[in-house]
Amino acid sequence: MVEVRLFATLRENREKILYLPYLEFPNAQSILDSLRIDPKDVAILLINGRHSKPIDEIHDMDIVALFPPVGGG
């Protein structure tokens, strides 16, 4: 199982925390595809608290956190 945490605008029309079967999602990009999130809409992608890329592998019990760009002035 992989825990996916969505923040700010990425939560719109989605749950705050999702639990996905890790065997169906070999990397973070597959999660983005499944959730229909454009990688351009993700400013920070963390896997287990470490900055990662969409192509990085995910494993059982990993925590994937997705943050959009920060807005404001």
Q: Which helix (H) or strand (E) holds 50?
A: strand 50-51
**6 — pLDDT class (breaks 50, 70, 90):** very high
What value does the mean pLDDT take over residues 39-49? 96
**64 — pLDDT class (breaks 50, 70, 90):** very high
**73 — pLDDT class (breaks 50, 70, 90):** low
Domain count, the chain: 1
Q: What is the CATH number of the domain that holds 24?
A: 3.10.20.30
Domain region containing 14 = 2-67
pLDDT score for 70: 82
Residue 72 lies in a domain: no
> How many Å apart are CA 71 and CA 51, to the nearest integer?
20
Taking CB atoms within 8 Å and a gap of at least 24, the contacts of 31-36 are 31/2, 31/4, 31/58, 31/64, 32/66, 35/4, 35/6
Check whether 72 has a pLDDT greater than 70.
no
Let me know if 32 is exposed, middle or buried by CB neighbors in 10 A (0-12, 13-18, 19+): buried
